[in-house]
Amino acid sequence: MKYILLTLLTALLYSCKTAMPIPAQSADSTIQYTATSLTAQEKEALAKSLASTHANYDPVEKMVLMTLNGYNYHTDATSGRFHRIGTSFNYALDLLDSGDKQYEQRAFDIIERCISLQDTVSTSKTYGIWGYFLEEPLATKKSPPDFNMADFFSVTLLDVWMGHQAKIPERLKPVIRRSLILAAQSIQKRNITMSYTNIAIMGTYVTYMVSHLFDVPAMKTYSVDRLKRFYNYTQEKGGFTEYNSPTYTITAIDELSRMKDHIIEPSAKQMIDKLYYTGWEIIAKHYHAPSGQWAGPHSRAYYSLLQNSFYDLINRASKGAIQLKANPAFTYSRLKHVIPTDLYSYFRSGTNPKTQNDVFELVEPKIEGTAYMTRQYALASANRSSMWNQRRPFIAYWGTVDQPKYLQVRFLHDKYDFSSASFYSQQKDNKVLAAINLNLGGGDKHISIDRMTTGKFKAADLRIRLEFGKQKAEVLPVKNDQAISATVDGVKLNVQLFKAVFDGYEGRWEKGSDASGAWWDYVIYSGAEKEFDLNAIREAIWGFTFSMGTASDTLPNGTPTVTESTGTLKTSWQGLQLDVPTSVLPLPKNL
pLDDT digit string, tens, across residues 407-426: 999 999 999 999 999 999 99
Task: Return d(Cα 525, Cα 194) in angstroms, integer.
Answer: 40
Q: What is the CA radius of gyration of the chain?
A: 26
Report domain extents, the chain: 1-12+35-190, 352-586
Is residue 281 pLDDT above 60, yes or no?
yes
pLDDT at 192: 96
Q: What is the dihedral of CA 80, 86, 89, 94, to 10 degrees?
A: -90
Largest CA distance in the chain: 77
pLDDT band at 73 (very low <50, low <70, confident <90, very high): low
pLDDT at 9: 41
pLDDT at 11: 41
Amino acid in the structure at residue 419: S
pLDDT at 162: 96
Average pLDDT for 46-63: 96
Q: What is the pTM of this model?
A: 0.91
pLDDT at 222: 99
Average pLDDT for 104-117: 99
Is residue 130 pLDDT above 50, yes or no?
yes
pLDDT band at 475 (very low <50, low <70, confident <90, very high): confident
pLDDT at 25: 57
Mapping DSSP onto H, E and C, the string for 30-95 reads: CECCCCCCCCHHHHHHHHHHHHHHHHCEECCCCEEEEEEECCCCCCCCCEEEEEEHHHHHHHHHHH
> Which is higher by pLDDT, 329 or 343?
343
- For residue range 161-181, what is the model confidence (pLDDT) as tens digits? 999 999 999 999 999 999 999
Amino acid in the structure at residue 399: G
In what side-by-side order are the strands of the sheet with 79-84? 57-58, 63-69, 79-84
Contact call for residues 271 and 228 (beta carbons, < 8 A)? yes
Task: Return d(Cα 560, Cα 570) in angstroms, integer.
Answer: 10
Contact call for residues 560 and 498 (beta carbons, < 8 A)? yes
Amino acid in the structure at residue 390: Q
pLDDT at 15: 37
Beta-bridge partner residues of 513: 518
pLDDT band at 80 (very low <50, low <70, confident <90, very high): confident
pLDDT at 6: 41
CA–CA distances in Å: residue 215 to residues 21, 139, 218: 12, 31, 9
Task: Return d(Cα 264, Cα 566) in angstroms, integer.
Answer: 60
Contact call for residues 542 and 520 (beta carbons, < 8 A)? no
Contact call for residues 494 and 485 (beta carbons, < 8 A)? yes
pLDDT band at 200 (very low <50, low <70, confident <90, very high): very high
Average pLDDT over the chain, rounded to an integer: 92
Contact call for residues 41 and 35 (beta carbons, < 8 A)? no
pLDDT at 517: 92
Contact call for residues 284 and 277 (beta carbons, < 8 A)? no
pLDDT at 545: 98
- For 432, phi then psi, to 5°, come to -135, 130
